[in-house]
Chain A
Amino acid sequence: EAGVAQSPRYKIIEKRQSVAFWCNPISGHATLYWYQQILGQGPKLLIQFQNNGVVDDSQLPKDRFSAERLKGVDSTLKIQPAKLEDSAVYLCASRRTGTAYNEQFFGPGTRLTVL
């Protein structure tokens, strides 16, 4: 079974520029998550999708961050415009419906540096 794929792996931009990250979850996983992991911290949930609907986006800074999962498979996370404090690793995770303990499978992440 292929894992969660993310691209790009690394991205360096200047503040006020825009950036987009792509995620392809494990086949058949209905739930998809985007996390932000700042250096030295644990992952923080930004948004959760169930198929192509948003379940939780309470911690997504909606003035600059947006995410979509149009066909219930791939997802894109966008930042526009980026700020210095957005420098972090952006992790995508997916989960198969039906596991009570909520095992999430993570991708390798996209490391964003905002200069």
Chain B
Amino acid sequence: QKEVEQDPGPLSVPEGAIVSLNCTYSNSAFQYFMWYRQYSRKGPELLMYTYSSGNKEDGRFTAQVDKSSKYISLFIRDSQPSDSATYLCAMKVQGAQKLVFGQGTRLTINP
């Protein structure tokens, strides 16, 4: 079993839809949870991070962490074609530097 599981998609939705991206994990020691966005032929860029449980909102993006279920989510409201990318979840243990990435979900927003 992989430490971090993420549905690879692909996921295709119409412009303006609400998008939900998810990851599950097995290591209960993970404390930092991140979402990276990766455009085609580019390196990943950090989109959001959350420490421990709870929600975090940044514009159209909301990150949620449910540690009891070992489940994290990223919601995108009013999705735009420019949101089309691969979204990677990543996690780490407190005090460690190593990030463990999910497989990535390929998202396409259709105009």
Contact = CB atoms under 8 A, between A and B. Distances in A.
A and B physically associate: yes
A53 to B, nearest CB: 13
A102 B43 contact: no
A17 B35 CA distance: 36
B61 interface: no
A4 B4 CA distance: 26
A44 B101 contact: yes
Interface string A103-114: 111111101000
Interface residues of A, number: 25
Interface string B18-37: 00000000000000101000
Contacts of B51: 100-101
Contacts of A87: none
A107 B44 CA distance: 8
A43 interface: yes
A93 B44 CA distance: 9
Contacts of B97: 31, 48, 55-56, 95, 102
B11 to A, nearest CB: 14
A31 B111 CA distance: 40
Contacts of B71: none
A19 interface: no
15 contacts: A31-B97, A41-B104, A42-B90, A42-B104, A43-B101, A48-B98, A56-B98, A100-B51, A104-B46, A106-B45, A107-B43, A108-B41, A108-B42, A109-B42, A111-B41
Given A102-B92, A103-B49, 17 more contacts: A40-B103, A42-B4, A42-B6, A42-B90, A43-B44, A43-B88, A43-B101, A48-B97, A91-B44, A93-B43, A95-B97, A100-B51, A101-B51, A102-B32, A102-B97, A103-B46, A104-B46
Interface of A: 4, 31, 40-45, 48, 55-56, 91, 93, 95, 100-109, 111
Interface of B: 4, 6, 8, 32, 34, 41-46, 49, 51, 88, 90, 92, 97-99, 101-104
